[in-house]
């Protein structure tokens, strides 16, 4: 990507608009692809680095995507903002269900990859914790984490399996067939539930995966293989990396389910008819939690700058790697006026309009380990 002219051009367009404090729509992106808002890329003129004919071809390709009728569905609905999908405006956890069974294979892969990458970006902005902050559950992982090929969804899933626990994010994957999974990646999962398997090939595949994940000598694979072969209906073998020796057998309770199977587009529309307005309104104003990074930092450009009063300046854009936090307002306007009057020993004039003025501060923390 670093040497691809298309990548370099689009990246510079995003960075330019971000530094200018301007929002960037798809329409604006296409127009600026044809006529970039800058003259040079690096030290080379834009036309030498990426000729106008090639820029026009790229703009036409982007335009074909957004002009496609099938793309219109991706422009509506709840925004893909992971903070508002996982937490209510009051800061309470919520359940968000993504239903993709009605999509074709390419659309399903696109949706799954988009969800995983959005979760990864949100996760990396969080502080480390030992408590569970969020849980990703995928019902039927078939096609998204195969053992041989490398679809777009595989790498973000692998990163989650390796890194998510440090940020308090759990991952649960389920499948009906163990052949669908890359066991090298699943060696990073601490708890396995194994149900009844119909064929010897499936059982051998699971044993091979357990062998990859097990530490030397902590599991008797011959005993485990016999236990898996003897599993009955509603009985699961549970293997936990913290439990040494023979895995545990678990029996589930009888569960009555009224699930009707996969939904059609029409059924989804009926199901969501009275919920769509609520979902859109609740996601429009994500929670401004105390001490949390500014919402959408690194995800979207800041709002268009407005003129500040004399003596004040607008908030300058900062690099996305710099974490910004905003302390809560500790007093209302009347209390602020009284504090000013006490400090200046005078009476304040009548205020027609009150605005918040943010004072920047830099916080640096360091940990030093030493031996005496």
**Per the domain annotation, does 26 fall within a domain?**
no
With respect to residue 37, please indicate whether it lies within any of the assigned structural domains.
no
Does 278 fall in a domain? yes
pLDDT (0 to 100) of residue 67: 84
Q: Which residue range(s) make up the domain with 135?
A: 77-284
Instruction: Report d(CA 130, CA 241) in Å as an integer.
Output: 17
| pLDDT per position as a tens digit, 215-260 | 545 667 788 888 888 888 889 998 888 777 778 899 888 777 777 7
Name the nearest CA neighbour of 49 among 8, 19, 91: 8
Tens of pLDDT, residues 40-86: 998 999 999 999 999 999 999 998 888 887 777 777 778 889 999 99
What residues form DSSP beta bridges with 171?
Answer: 136
CATH number at residue 118: 3.40.50.300
Specify if 305 maps to a domain.
no
The 10 Å Cβ neighbour count of residue 101 is 12
Long-range CB pairs of 296-303 (<8 Å, 24+ gap) are 296/81, 297/125, 297/323, 297/324, 298/121, 298/125, 299/81, 299/121, 300/23, 301/17, 301/18, 301/21, 301/22, 301/23, 301/24, 302/18, 302/21, 303/21, 303/23
How would you write the pLDDT of the chain (372 residues) with one tens digit per residue? 568 899 999 999 999 999 998 888 888 999 999 999 999 998 999 999 999 999 999 999 998 888 887 777 777 778 889 999 999 888 899 999 999 988 889 989 999 999 999 999 999 999 888 899 999 999 889 899 998 889 999 999 999 999 999 999 999 999 888 778 887 777 788 888 999 888 888 888 888 777 776 654 566 778 888 888 888 888 999 888 877 777 889 988 877 777 777 888 888 888 887 776 666 666 554 444 333 333 333 444 444 445 566 666 666 666 666 777 777 777 777 787 788 788 877 777 666 666 777 778 888 888 888 887
Give dist(CA 13, CA 219) in Å, integer.
Answer: 55
Name the nearest CA neighbour of 29 among 65, 82, 4. 65
Q: Which residue has the tokens 């919920």?
A: 275
pTM for this entry: 0.64
Straight-line distance from the first to the last Cα atom of the chain, in angstroms, rounded to the nearest whole number: 49
290: in domain: no
Query: Which residues face 139 on adjacent strands?
Result: 174
Question: Tokens 């002009």 correspond to what residue?
Answer: 67
Phi then psi for residue 371, to 5 deg, are -120, 130
Q: CA angle 353-359-360, nearest 5°? A: 145
**pLDDT score, position 301:** 41
Alpha carbons 156 and 173: distance in angstroms, whole number: 14
184 lies in some domain = yes
Q: Please indicate, yes or no, if residue 48 is contained in any of the structural domains.
A: no
| Contact present, 166 and 132 (Cβ < 8 Å) | no
Q: What is the pLDDT of residue 297?
A: 39
Number of structural domains (the chain) is 1
Q: What single string gives the DSSP state of each residue in 52-64?
A: HHHHHHHHHHHHH
**Is 28 a member of any domain?**
no
Q: Are 193 and 163 in contact (CB under 8 A)?
A: no
Neighbour count for residue 351 (Cβ, 10 Å): 11
């Amino acid at each position: 990507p670093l040497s691809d002219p298309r990548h370099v051009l689009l990246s510079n367009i995003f960075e330019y608009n971000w530094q200018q404090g301007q929002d960037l729509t798809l329409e604006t992106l296409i127009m600026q692809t044809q006529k970039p808002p800058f003259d040079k890329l690096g030290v080379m003129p834009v036309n030498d680095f990426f000729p106008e004919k090639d820029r026009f071809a790229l703009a036409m390709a982007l335009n074909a995507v957004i002009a496609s009728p099938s793309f219109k569905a991706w422009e509506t609905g709840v925004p893909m903002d992971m903070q508002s999908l996982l937490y209510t405006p009051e800061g309470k956890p919520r359940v968000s269900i993504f239903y993709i069974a009605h999509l074709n294979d390419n659309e399903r892969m696109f949706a799954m990859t988009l969800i995983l990458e959005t979760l990864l970006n949100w996760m990396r902005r969080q502080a480390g914790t030992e408590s569970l902050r969020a849980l990703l559950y995928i019902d039927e992982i078939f096609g998204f984490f195969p053992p041989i090929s490398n679809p777009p969804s595989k790498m973000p899933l692998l990163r989650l399996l390796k890194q998510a626990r440090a940020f308090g994010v759990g991952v649960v994957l389920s499948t009906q067939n163990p052949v669908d999974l890359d066991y090298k990646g699943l060696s990073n999962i601490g708890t396995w539930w194994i149900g009844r398997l119909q064929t010897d090939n499936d059982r051998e595949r699971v044993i091979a995966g357990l062998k990859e994940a097990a530490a030397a000598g902590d599991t008797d694979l011959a005993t485990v293989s016999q236990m898996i072969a003897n599993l009955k209906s509603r009985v699961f073998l549970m293997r936990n990396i913290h439990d040494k020796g023979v895995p545990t057998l678990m029996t589930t309770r009888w569960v009555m389910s009224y699930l009707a199977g996969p939904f059609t587009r029409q059924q989804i529309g009926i199901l969501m008819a009275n919920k769509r307005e609520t979902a859109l309104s609740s996601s429009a104003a994500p929670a401004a939690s105390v001490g949390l990074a500014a919402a959408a930092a690194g995800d979207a450009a800041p709002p268009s700058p407005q003129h500040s009063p004399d003596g004040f300046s607008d908030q300058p854009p900062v690099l996305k790697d710099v974490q910004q936090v905003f302390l809560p307002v500790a007093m209302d306007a009347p209390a602020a006026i009284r504090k000013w009057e006490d400090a200046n020993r005078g009476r304040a004039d009548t205020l027609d309009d009150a605005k918040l003025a943010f004072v920047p501060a830099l916080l640096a923390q360091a940990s030093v380990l030493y031996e005496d």
